[in-house]
Amino acid sequence: MLFEHAKNEPVLILDADQIWNLLETTSHGRLVLVVGWRPDIFPINYAVAPDRTLIFRTAPGTKLAELAINEKVLFEADQISSDDAWSVTVRGEAHWLQNSASIEQAEALGLRPWVPTVKDHYVSITPSEVSGRHFQFGPHPERELGEGSEGG
């Protein structure tokens, strides 16, 4: 994906549309949950719903238990190539989908578990804040030495 960087600026702050476009190009990321000052991070696969929420599937266990205690989450996705990279974070609230209409909408996204295990529970992340950056790789700039400085 091409991004328009300002001249000699290797880092570009992304706007919301750019962020959501990038989130739609991949299906994996990391979910951060915090309970009792103890952070946990989980790799997840996800889908972007039409209303710009993130949906993932899970089995009963740590993620659902922690979400029941603290619904505030942080999600991060990124991608790195030989020439550039991007990184996006989504802060928000996670909700275990339990009514049939919400589950039906989630199932319509075609999200499948990575591994052959039963993951019947859908969770949505409603964003409160999104941020992202695109990085253009290049040579490390030479440091300019002031007058009277000795190199070496």
Q: What is the pLDDT of residues 82-132, one digit of tens each?
A: 889 999 999 999 999 999 999 999 999 999 888 888 999 999 999 999 999
Average pLDDT of span 22-31: 96
Locate 122 and state its tokens.
Answer: 């859908």
Q: Which pLDDT does position 110 carry in this prediction?
A: 93
The helix/strand/coil state of 66 is helix
Task: Say which amino acid occupies 68.
Answer: A
Average pLDDT of the chain, as a whole number: 90
Q: Please report the domains of the chain, with CATH numbers, ordered by start residue.
A: 12-136 (2.30.110.10)
Half-sphere exposure of 61 (CA within 13 A, CB side): 8
Q: Rounded to an integer, what distance in angstroms lies between the CA atom of residue 2 and that of residue 85?
A: 11
Q: Rounded to an integer, what distance in angstroms lies between the CA atom of residue 30 and that of residue 10?
A: 25
Q: Rounded to an integer, what distance in angstroms lies between the CA atom of residue 32 and that of residue 92?
A: 11
**Residue 152 pLDDT > 80, yes or no?**
no
Q: How confident is the model at residue 1 (pLDDT cuts 50, 70, 90)?
A: low
Q: How confident is the model at residue 142 (pLDDT cuts 50, 70, 90)?
A: confident
* pLDDT above 70: percentage of residues in the chain: 91
Asked whether the whole model's pTM tops 0.75, one would answer yes
Q: Which pLDDT does position 148 carry in this prediction?
A: 54
- pLDDT tens figures, 50-66: 999 999 999 999 999 99
> H/E element holding 21?
helix 16-23
Q: Are 87 and 76 in contact (CB under 8 A)?
A: yes
Q: Which pLDDT does position 9 carry in this prediction?
A: 80
Distances (CA, A) of 6 to 10, 29, 82, 129, 139: 8, 28, 20, 25, 16
Average pLDDT of span 6-30: 91
